[in-house]
Homo-oligomer: A and B are copies of this chain.
Amino acid sequence: MKLITRNTDYAVKALRYICRNKGKITSVKDLTYKLDIPRPFLRKILQILNKKKLLKSFKGRRGGFMLSSPPGEIFLIDLIEIFQGPFMLSECIFKKGICSDKYNCALKRKIDDIEKNVVAELNSITLASLL
């Protein structure tokens, strides 16, 4: 079971590169030279990151992308949620009615705890820590 899909992986790689290019605008062309990612796919990913305000984009001839916040403020979990949907351990189990007493059974509390821990820990991983 994969916790990180290729989208997310590529996004991290691209953001790392853009970040290192501090101040300069980075184009998809530059990125595809350096990273081994198919160009149109990378374009789509960066467009999404732009829409989600993690990147600023610049159109036109010398256009490209820059980080819109410092790398210490970009969290891995945000990328996971953007590309893989909301992170939730428990809802998927309980939605399906496995548990008949879903609002206050010990199991649900337990799983909720696990989830909180994972989210909290993932929340502590920033782009900065991935450089």
Stoichiometry (number of copies): 2
Give per-residue flags for A1-33: 1 if the beta carbon is below 8 A from chain B beta carbons, else 0: 111100001001100100000000000000000
Is A1 in contact with B80, judged by CB distance below 8 angstroms? yes
Q: Which residues of B contact A47 (CB under 8 A)?
A: none
Band of interface residues on A: 20 to 34
**Interface pick from A38-46, A51-59, A61-69, A107-115:** A107-115
Give A residues with C-beta under 8 Å from B.
1-4, 9, 12-13, 16, 80, 84-89, 92-93, 96, 98-99, 106-107, 110-111, 113-114, 117-118, 121-122, 124-125, 129-130
Closest 8 CB pairs of A and B: A1-B84, A114-B121, A4-B92, A3-B89, A1-B85, A4-B93, A9-B96, A2-B92
